[in-house]
Amino acid sequence: RNFNAGFEATLWNRLNIGFDFFIKETRDMLYQSPLAKSEGSPSYIWKNEMNMKNTGIEFEISGDIIKTKDIVWNASLNLTHYKNELTKLPESKPADEFPNGYQAGRYWRKLGGSLYDWYRYEYVGVDPSNGLPQYNKYIYKTDENGKYVRDENGDEIIEDVKIVNKTSDATLRQTGKSAIPDLVGGFSTTLTAYGVDLSIATAFQLGGWVQDQNYANLMNSGDNGENFHKDMFNRWTPAHTDTDIPALNFGNQNAGIDTTSDYFLVKGNYFSLRNVTIGYTFPKKILASTGITNLRIYLTGDNIWLKSVRKGFDPRYSFNGFNDIASYSALSSYSVGLNVSF
């Protein structure tokens, strides 16, 4: 169900402005509703039990900066911001156990939250005495029946926090971080002057948290055939204890930072130079005696440059925030062209 309202305006025959406000509601989304163990396999059945709403704005502005007989230079900017919100949760979820939401894989689903709110272990650094990783374990208050005591928001009340060395002993927690970006947009410009044409197209994103799985796999504890990221030079050693990277411990899976911890959640900010094209169109008076009515040569490049948190990290291929090892960045490509009209 969609609602959209906006306006468009042209000013001085050179400036174009567009603004849109939208609400998009998606109802009856699929959910793997759990079945009783006595029913055998599979352990779930698909039901239409979730609703979601996106509320946001889109803004676009474009115009001619210079507009003369020989020179035309224009530019455009577009921006999009929206909030993703769950408005209905599955009725079949264990409400007594999770009154304020429930775990869905690597995410936490709750009313008012987004579809991709991260649910991870809290990494709290390295034990300086032995170089092992450390995570938070939360001790919750319980009543005489062993049930959690909750506050007015339905959240568990914390009695104590302990530090442990394995995620199997730690507590999964709401991180307060969503994979949904705060702002996405693009900027482009075109310049034509005396037969030369130049166009540049860019794209960018601000906000959102992405799990850099490529980086996580390179920050392992050491095993046969495994590679490392250069950050491993900053690992714990007996002579270098002030670091957040654990010691190398060959073959010990618990010695490295667990990939399900929040350590590998990084900002999804990026800026990309998507396309640059430069060309030259020969004057018609030069072509008059050749039988050619138009002749243009050009050089173009696609996916030229990307700036993100670290080299090799491409947030564009992880809408749900999970940047997997198989998510290769788009290849840069360059070509030379010739357009001829007779």
Q: pLDDT at position 328, please?
A: 64
Average pLDDT over residues 225-230: 86
Tens of pLDDT, residues 274-309? 999 999 999 888 877 787 888 999 999 999 999 998
Residue 35 — very low, low, confident or very high, per pLDDT cuts 50/70/90?
Answer: confident
Q: Do 204 and 147 contact (CB within 8 A), yes or no?
A: no
Indicate whether 148 pLDDT > 70.
Answer: yes
Q: pLDDT at position 312, please?
A: 82
Average pLDDT over residues 220-230: 82
Tens of pLDDT, residues 53-90? 999 999 999 999 999 989 999 999 999 999 999 999 88
Indicate whether 323 pLDDT > 80.
Answer: no
pTM: 0.85
Q: pLDDT at position 44, please?
A: 82
Q: What residues contact 154, with CB distance under 8 A and at least 6 apart? A: 99, 100
Q: pLDDT at position 103, please?
A: 84
Residue 269, CA distances (Å) to 118, 156, 179, 187, 321 in order: 17, 33, 11, 15, 12
55-69, 83-97, 191-205, 207-221: least confidently modelled range: 83-97
Question: What is the distance, to the nearest Å, from the Cα of residue 50 to the centroid of all Cα atoms in its chain?
Answer: 23
Distance between CA atoms of residues 266 and 31, nearest Å: 28
Question: What is the distance, to the nearest Å, from the Cα of residue 327 to the centroid of all Cα atoms in its chain?
Answer: 12
Indicate whether 232 pLDDT > 70.
Answer: yes
DSSP conformation letters of 222-286? --TT----GGGGG--BTTB-S-SSPPP-TT-TTTSPPTTBGGGEEE--EEEEEEEEEEEE--HHH
DSSP structural state of residue 290: T
